[in-house]
Structure 1
Amino acid sequence: MRILVAGATGVLGRPLLDRLRHRGHHVTALVRTASTAPAGDTVVADGLDPAAVTAAVLAARPDVIVHQMTALRGLSTDAMRATARLRTEGTANLIAAAHAAGVRRLVAQSIAFAAEPRGGPVVDEDAPLYLAAPDPGWAGTVRAIAELERQVLGSPGLEPVVLRYGVLYGERTAYARDGHTGQAALRGRLRLAGTGSGITSFVHVDDAVAATVAAVEVPVTGVLHVTDDDPAPAAQWLPALCERLGGPPPRTVPGPMAARLLGWFPAFQLTEMRGAANERARTELGWKPARPSWRTGLGTD
């Protein structure tokens, strides 16, 4: 197949290009600037420029578009806002270009940790998203995710797949030794909040890439969680990360003070976040994580 990967220089984009090419697909990378172009066929367009996106897609002539566009070079407010625009305006531009080019399938990146903090500790894809989160930044992120999913799933003539990835770990992620969270763990800057009851579902980069390849090749549609088999409370994974990296054990802050001391989102992850069940992806994609638990690699690979 002819495949266009939009957002080809990101944490998932680069290994995804290699994996798809290894499987014999003709792959074109869409990048924002020529200076960041990886090896192989490339087209250049700013995802927020509709004319440029359409021209790039028409030049690539793909059967399938994989939408991995983000601007996440950290968790700054500017990066989150830029990513929200790519998930809303950028998605609309890709869909319009897909229709112009006769693309048949669209596989789009979403996140598996945007559910409302209610119900059981682990939820499936039908759980409501946290659109009314009290933090404006997180509420904006979740609304952008919801809009991306609405656009992708509601596009007539396209076979839509939304992959909600868990929290990524592995090379070039925040949880790598040289990543933001890895460095904070190494230097004793991470904190637990309350009892550490918030649940995180991780997924290794390699497993996320494998699921994306399956979503390109397998004729399924809809929303799928791409996570490992071991959703875990912060009270387990955070001390394990610190120990593995050789950092000191995390100190604990009182739960009611966590948002003020740590920031709203870290406090939410540590105390209220829900994990994400992966049964649907396993069944419909025929995929299973090669690393079924974060316990064997978080912080080391």
Structure 2
Amino acid sequence: MTARVLVAGATGVIGRALVPLLRARGHHVTALVREPSRAAGLALDGVVVADALEAEAVRAAVLSARPDVVVHQLTALRGPTAEGFEPTARLRTEGTAHLIAAAEAAGAERMVAQSIAFATAPRGGPVLTEDAPLYADAPDPGWALTTRAIAELERRILGAAHLSGTVLRYGTLYGPGTLYHRAGAFGGAVARGRLPLPEPAAGITSFLHVEDAARAAVCAVEADTDGVFNVADDDPVEAAVWLPEYARLLGAPPPRTVPAQLAERLLGWFTSYQLTAMRGAANDRGRQALNWKPAVSSWRTRLADD
């Protein structure tokens, strides 16, 4: 059954892949944007304008769109540093609250929201399920803020009084527009030999192609299932494996190795954490409940694509 879908974050990395997929399925798609010019080039059925942090503007925009489903893909992240952590945390807390209130006022039935699979605490096995606790006590203030905001987003989405809610915990995104694209910050650093490999590099990354992230959102829009679901490929991998292979695929020299105790000083807290301690994400629950599976089952086939 087709629906009226409002996509908040339609001009972002996932949103730009999501909009054409929704329209191909026959859905009526409206984008909620802060700057109308950013929606240029997107084939949309409608555009409404609001800053997600302004409650009344969001309410008016959502009421005018009259959605059946609201898809929340809002972030303010622009790179691998902590620069976007605080504004993204506000979008995940205040922005989520505004979207829920507006969606309920507009009579929407469902909300699908973006979360992250790698926000889990680095405790337990190498690959964790959705039941694992989030890393709210992370030693890095930016990452602690991020995980607390994720926890609040998920609580609000699942606790909405008049909305069915699905939370998609995406793995580490790669593909066009991401940090791991050849032109992205990570891709560029690896290509220039400027991303060293800590020893040991036991952190686990669960990758996800942007197109598979968008496909999962379509499945969630059309599903009749609530809950929190990891969305990642089938090949969680240690940094000791993926980083040298990524360099090889890019035609770059092998990354130089550094002692793990120097990694944070050289790479910053988050990248050091990703390479040394992060856990992967099991995707079994999302595959079953959402009738979704990754078209790109392993990062090895497309991580270095143009």
The TM-score with structure 1 as length reference comes to 0.98
Paired AA for residue 144 in structure 1:
A
Q: In the superposition, relative to structure 1, how do residues 271 and 76 fare at CA in structure 2: closer, same or farther (>3 Å)?
A: closer
> What is the alpha-carbon distance in structure 2 between the residues aligned to residue 287 and residue 195 of structure 1?
34
* Residue 24 (structure 1) aligns with: 26
* Residue 200 (structure 1) aligns with: 205
* Residue 159 (structure 1) aligns with: 164
Paired AA for residue 15 in structure 1:
A
Please state if 1:222 is matched with 2:227: yes
* Residue 90 (structure 1) aligns with: 95
* Residue 170 (structure 1) aligns with: 175
> What is the alpha-carbon distance in structure 1 between the residues aligned to residue 195 and residue 81 of structure 2?
18
> What is the alpha-carbon distance in structure 1 between the residues aligned to residue 108 and residue 137 of structure 2?
35
1:220 is paired with a residue whose SS is coil
**Per-residue deviation, 1:99:** 1.1
> What is the alpha-carbon distance in structure 2 between the residues aligned to residue 290 and residue 183 of structure 1?
26
Paired AA for residue 239 in structure 1:
P
> What is the alpha-carbon distance in structure 2 between the residues aligned to residue 92 and residue 232 of structure 1?
35
1:12 is paired with a residue whose SS is helix
**Per-residue deviation, 1:299:** 1.7
Please state if 1:245 is matched with 2:250: yes
**Per-residue deviation, 1:77:** 3.3
> What is the alpha-carbon distance in structure 1 between the residues aligned to residue 291 and residue 116 of structure 2?
20
- Large movers: runs of 4+ above 6 Å: none
* Residue 6 (structure 1) aligns with: 8
CA offset digits 1:91-115 (Å, max 9, x no partner): 0000110111011100000000011
Q: Of 37, 60, 80, which aligns to 2:65?
A: 60
> What is the alpha-carbon distance in structure 2 between the residues aligned to residue 253 and residue 47 of structure 1?
42
Paired AA for residue 11 in structure 1:
V
2:119 is paired with a residue whose SS is coil
Matched residues, number: 301
Where does structure 1 lack aligned partners over 5 or more consecutive residues? none
Paired AA for residue 174 in structure 1:
L
CA offset digits 1:225-271 (Å, max 9, x no partner): 00000000001110111111111110111112211221111111001
2:124 is paired with a residue whose SS is coil
Asked whether the equivalents of residues 127 and 236 of structure 2 are also in contact (C-alpha less than 8 Å), the reply is yes
1:30 is paired with a residue whose SS is strand
**Per-residue deviation, 1:39:** 3.8
Residue pairs, 1:260-271, within 5 angstroms: 260-271=265-276
CA offset digits 1:161-190 (Å, max 9, x no partner): 000000001111110111110100111111
* Residue 259 (structure 1) aligns with: 264
> What is the alpha-carbon distance in structure 1 between the residues aligned to residue 176 and residue 78 of structure 2?
14
Asked whether the equivalents of residues 33 and 50 of structure 2 are also in contact (C-alpha less than 8 Å), the reply is yes
The TM-score with structure 2 as length reference comes to 0.97
> What is the alpha-carbon distance in structure 2 between the residues aligned to residue 244 and residue 225 of structure 1?
27
> What is the alpha-carbon distance in structure 1 between the residues aligned to residue 12 and residue 147 of structure 2?
20
1:65 is paired with a residue whose SS is strand
> What is the alpha-carbon distance in structure 2 between the residues aligned to residue 39 and residue 26 of structure 1?
11
1:113 is paired with a residue whose SS is helix
Paired AA for residue 24 in structure 2:
H
Identity across the alignment (%):
64
Where does structure 2 lack aligned partners over 5 or more consecutive residues? none
Between 180-189 and 258-267, the greater mean CA deviation after superposition: 258-267
* Residue 36 (structure 2) aligns with: 34
Paired AA for residue 64 in structure 1:
V
> What is the alpha-carbon distance in structure 1 between the residues aligned to residue 262 and residue 17 of structure 2?
40
Paired AA for residue 67 in structure 2:
P
Please state if 1:274 is matched with 2:276: no
Q: Of 75, 100, 107, which aligns to 1:102?
A: 107
